[in-house]
Amino acid sequence: MAFFSRLRAQRAANRELGEGVWRRAHDRFTRSLDRIFQVLEGINDVEIYNQLVAPANEMAELLPVVRQLCTDAQRITPSDDEAIPQSTAGVHRSLTKSANDLATTAQVIAMMRMQAEAGSPINILSVEHRAQIVKDDVNQAAQLLASLK
Protein backbone atom coordinates (compact mmCIF):
# COMPACT_ATOMS: atom_id res chain seq x y z
CA MET A 1 0.00 0.00 0.00
CA ALA A 2 2.79 2.43 0.87
CA PHE A 3 4.36 1.79 -2.51
CA PHE A 4 1.26 3.03 -4.33
CA SER A 5 0.87 6.10 -2.13
CA ARG A 6 4.51 7.01 -2.82
CA LEU A 7 3.91 6.50 -6.53
CA ARG A 8 0.84 8.76 -6.46
CA ALA A 9 2.77 11.41 -4.53
CA GLN A 10 5.61 11.26 -7.04
CA ARG A 11 3.21 11.64 -9.96
CA ALA A 12 1.56 14.61 -8.27
CA ALA A 13 4.98 16.18 -7.70
CA ASN A 14 5.88 15.62 -11.35
CA ARG A 15 2.64 17.31 -12.39
CA GLU A 16 3.20 20.30 -10.10
CA LEU A 17 6.98 20.68 -10.24
CA GLY A 18 7.84 19.15 -13.59
CA GLU A 19 11.01 17.14 -14.00
CA GLY A 20 13.41 20.02 -14.63
CA VAL A 21 15.07 22.75 -12.62
CA TRP A 22 12.09 23.48 -10.36
CA ARG A 23 11.81 19.88 -9.25
CA ARG A 24 15.54 19.78 -8.56
CA ALA A 25 15.42 23.07 -6.62
CA HIS A 26 12.61 21.70 -4.44
CA ASP A 27 14.34 18.35 -3.94
CA ARG A 28 17.64 20.03 -3.06
CA PHE A 29 15.92 22.09 -0.35
CA THR A 30 14.19 18.96 0.96
CA ARG A 31 17.45 16.99 1.15
CA SER A 32 19.17 19.83 3.02
CA LEU A 33 16.29 20.01 5.48
CA ASP A 34 16.44 16.24 5.98
CA ARG A 35 20.14 16.57 6.77
CA ILE A 36 19.40 19.10 9.51
CA PHE A 37 17.04 16.70 11.23
CA GLN A 38 19.46 13.79 10.79
CA VAL A 39 22.11 15.80 12.62
CA LEU A 40 19.62 16.79 15.32
CA GLU A 41 18.71 13.14 15.91
CA GLY A 42 22.30 12.48 16.97
CA ILE A 43 22.21 15.02 19.80
CA ASN A 44 21.95 13.26 23.14
CA ASP A 45 21.81 16.32 25.40
CA VAL A 46 18.14 17.27 25.79
CA GLU A 47 18.87 20.92 26.61
CA ILE A 48 21.02 21.43 23.51
CA TYR A 49 18.52 19.55 21.37
CA ASN A 50 15.69 21.79 22.59
CA GLN A 51 17.71 24.90 21.79
CA LEU A 52 18.45 23.74 18.25
CA VAL A 53 15.09 22.24 17.35
CA ALA A 54 13.31 25.64 17.33
CA PRO A 55 15.38 27.14 14.47
CA ALA A 56 15.23 23.77 12.67
CA ASN A 57 11.44 23.79 12.88
CA GLU A 58 11.37 27.36 11.55
CA MET A 59 13.31 26.21 8.51
CA ALA A 60 11.00 23.19 8.12
CA GLU A 61 8.07 25.61 7.94
CA LEU A 62 9.66 27.02 4.77
CA LEU A 63 9.27 23.75 2.86
CA PRO A 64 5.64 24.36 1.78
CA VAL A 65 6.63 27.89 0.75
CA VAL A 66 9.50 26.56 -1.35
CA ARG A 67 7.21 23.96 -2.92
CA GLN A 68 4.67 26.64 -3.80
CA LEU A 69 7.37 28.88 -5.27
CA CYS A 70 8.68 26.01 -7.39
CA THR A 71 5.14 25.10 -8.48
CA ASP A 72 4.41 28.70 -9.44
CA ALA A 73 7.73 29.00 -11.27
CA GLN A 74 6.99 25.77 -13.16
CA ARG A 75 3.63 27.19 -14.19
CA ILE A 76 5.20 30.48 -15.38
CA THR A 77 8.31 28.99 -17.00
CA PRO A 78 7.89 25.22 -17.46
CA SER A 79 11.08 23.19 -17.25
CA ASP A 80 11.63 19.53 -17.99
CA ASP A 81 15.38 19.69 -18.54
CA GLU A 82 18.46 21.34 -17.03
CA ALA A 83 18.11 24.68 -18.83
CA ILE A 84 17.27 27.47 -16.39
CA PRO A 85 14.57 29.72 -17.88
CA GLN A 86 16.00 33.20 -18.35
CA SER A 87 13.00 35.12 -16.98
CA THR A 88 13.04 33.18 -13.70
CA ALA A 89 16.79 32.72 -13.34
CA GLY A 90 16.86 34.98 -10.27
CA VAL A 91 14.17 32.92 -8.59
CA HIS A 92 16.13 29.75 -9.31
CA ARG A 93 19.34 31.33 -8.02
CA SER A 94 17.66 32.35 -4.74
CA LEU A 95 16.09 28.91 -4.25
CA THR A 96 19.39 27.18 -4.96
CA LYS A 97 21.15 29.53 -2.55
CA SER A 98 18.54 28.78 0.13
CA ALA A 99 19.20 25.03 -0.20
CA ASN A 100 22.96 25.58 -0.04
CA ASP A 101 22.60 27.82 3.00
CA LEU A 102 20.34 25.23 4.60
CA ALA A 103 23.02 22.57 4.05
CA THR A 104 25.56 24.92 5.63
CA THR A 105 23.22 25.27 8.61
CA ALA A 106 23.27 21.48 8.98
CA GLN A 107 27.06 21.63 9.06
CA VAL A 108 26.96 24.33 11.75
CA ILE A 109 24.62 22.19 13.85
CA ALA A 110 26.92 19.19 13.38
CA MET A 111 29.89 21.23 14.58
CA MET A 112 27.89 22.39 17.59
CA ARG A 113 27.00 18.80 18.38
CA MET A 114 30.68 17.88 18.34
CA GLN A 115 31.49 20.85 20.60
CA ALA A 116 28.81 19.79 23.06
CA GLU A 117 30.03 16.18 23.05
CA ALA A 118 33.54 17.46 23.83
CA GLY A 119 32.15 19.37 26.81
CA SER A 120 32.55 22.83 25.32
CA PRO A 121 29.77 25.38 25.74
CA ILE A 122 27.75 26.18 22.65
CA ASN A 123 26.09 29.33 21.40
CA ILE A 124 23.16 28.89 19.02
CA LEU A 125 23.46 32.40 17.60
CA SER A 126 25.30 31.07 14.56
CA VAL A 127 22.46 28.62 13.85
CA GLU A 128 19.90 31.38 14.24
CA HIS A 129 21.98 33.57 11.92
CA ARG A 130 22.15 30.81 9.29
CA ALA A 131 18.40 30.21 9.62
CA GLN A 132 17.76 33.89 8.96
CA ILE A 133 19.90 33.73 5.83
CA VAL A 134 17.79 30.79 4.57
CA LYS A 135 14.58 32.74 5.28
CA ASP A 136 15.98 35.76 3.45
CA ASP A 137 16.85 33.60 0.43
CA VAL A 138 13.32 32.20 0.27
CA ASN A 139 11.82 35.69 0.70
CA GLN A 140 14.04 36.95 -2.11
CA ALA A 141 12.80 34.16 -4.38
CA ALA A 142 9.19 35.01 -3.47
CA GLN A 143 9.72 38.69 -4.22
CA LEU A 144 11.35 37.96 -7.57
CA LEU A 145 8.58 35.59 -8.55
CA ALA A 146 5.88 38.03 -7.45
CA SER A 147 7.41 40.69 -9.70
CA LEU A 148 6.91 38.35 -12.68
CA LYS A 149 3.24 37.66 -12.09
Question: For residue 26, what pLDDT is reported?
Answer: 96
Angle at 25 between CA 28 and CA 101, to 5 degrees: 60
CA distance 54 to 145: 28
Confidence (pLDDT) at 9? 56
* Res 7 pLDDT > 60: no
d(CA 113, CA 119): 10
> b/e per residue, 104-128, with b = 16+ CB within 10 A?
ebbebbbebbeebeeeeebebeebb
Burial level of 17, CB count in 10 A (0-12/13-18/19+)? Answer: buried
**Distance, C-alpha 93 to centroid of its chain:** 13
For the ranges 6-10, 27-31, 92-96, 138-142, which has the lowest average pLDDT?
Answer: 6-10
The pLDDT tens digits for 58-83 are 999 999 999 999 999 999 999 988 89
